[in-house]
Amino acid sequence: MAVKAEYLWVDGTQPTAKLRSKTKILAPGEKPGIWGFDGSSTNQAPGDKSDCVLQPVFVCPDPIRGGDNILVLCEVELIDGTPHPTNTRAPLRAVAEKYADQEAIFGIEQEYTFFKDGRPLGFPVGGGYPAPQGGYYCGVGADEVFGREIVEEHMDAVLAAGLHLSGINAEVMPGQWEFQIGPVGAPLVADELWVARWLLYRIAEKHGVSATLDPKPVKGDWNGAGAHTNFSTKAMREGYDAIIAGAEALGKKRQEHVDGYGAGIDQRLTGLHETAPWTEYSYGVSDRGASVRIPWQVAKDGKGYIEDRRPNANVDPYVVTRLLIDTICSELA
């Protein structure tokens, strides 16, 4: 039987890149090799020099098609084999290799919102608003939870693909959910997040629903959607001084991180709805209104990890992981 290999890649759309994919048929046992695509249709090349190259970097089972079929995540390269300017994985690889001895690991909390017919799933048909947020978070019941059948199917698919899924939960707004990838190192955690996102879009598509990573899907008194990123190094997992040093280091490069944490960050990081203002930097124990939270258990144990609460849901995981490694590991080196 032939093998269907779904090639996935990140395109050049600005300000927020999109996932693209297409299918290649392989012979049984054939290793997925490089492939090409029309970069002029993905904001990655002009029409007169449109060829771009797909270089496989991560392969896993395809839980949607099943059998021996696979998903093939790729880096985008130029025809000379060098990284494409839109390839954010390549600079992450370099930074991760530079600081490999510090054994950095991540857990990324991906929030997202289901939309159907132009409104968040669970919002009244015909307009208006549901009851205020509060009861929806980790809720249960048809009046509080919307889209669970899609979420359950996605969870099963991510597990079947062999990804490092550590949990799911309903979020603060109707139709808003979260899944977590990690703990695992980079670039693997970012590879798996991109694949998990693709599976989410693909499964929601089957249900006639779209899943958006918009950081502020509904204006007004509603929580935004983030990708809180948990981070630690070997030193942080062994002592509290490194925890504080890491948190302090992030404050020294506040603007650089905010600039790389996703388009529309000013709409979400307002100082309300469990966020710190994007123009300021703070950290604190058990403080969800701070830029960076130190979990209470970490303070109690004197070791562990920190949670950067600033990244948007639409953040490029290759960028956020590179920034965290570069900023904190250079400080702890």
The mean pLDDT of 99-110, rounded to a whole number, is 98
Does the pLDDT of residue 70 top 90, yes or no?
yes
- 163-172 pLDDT, tens digit per residue, is 999 999 999 9
Whether 12 shows a pLDDT value over 90: the answer reads yes
Q: Average pLDDT, stretch 40-47?
A: 96
Q: What is the mean pLDDT of the chain?
A: 97
Q: Identify whether the C-beta of residue 225 lies closer than 8 Å to the C-beta of residue 214.
A: yes
63: preceding bond cis by omega (within 30 degrees): no
Mean pLDDT of 242-249: 98
Position 134 scores a pLDDT of 82
Tell me, yes or no, if the pTM score tops 0.95: yes
Position 224 scores a pLDDT of 95
pLDDT for the residue numbered 127? 86
List pLDDT tens digits, range 317-333. Answer: 999 999 999 999 999 98
Structure confidence by residue, pLDDT tens digits, 255-294: 999 999 999 999 999 999 899 999 999 999 999 999 999 9
Task: Indicate whether 204 pLDDT > 90.
Answer: yes
**Which residues touch 244 (CB under 8 Å, ≥6 apart)?**
none
Q: Is the peptide bond before 91 cis (omega within 30 degrees of 0)?
A: no
Q: How far apart are CA 185 and CA 235, in angstroms?
A: 15
The pLDDT value given to residue 313: 98
Question: How many whole angstroms from its chain centre is CA 270?
Answer: 21
Q: Are 120 and 176 in contact (CB under 8 A)?
A: yes
DSSP for 11-77, written as a single string: ---SSS--EEEEEEEE-TTPPP--EEEEGGGTTSS-GGG-EEEEEEEEEEE-TTT-TT-EEEEEEEE
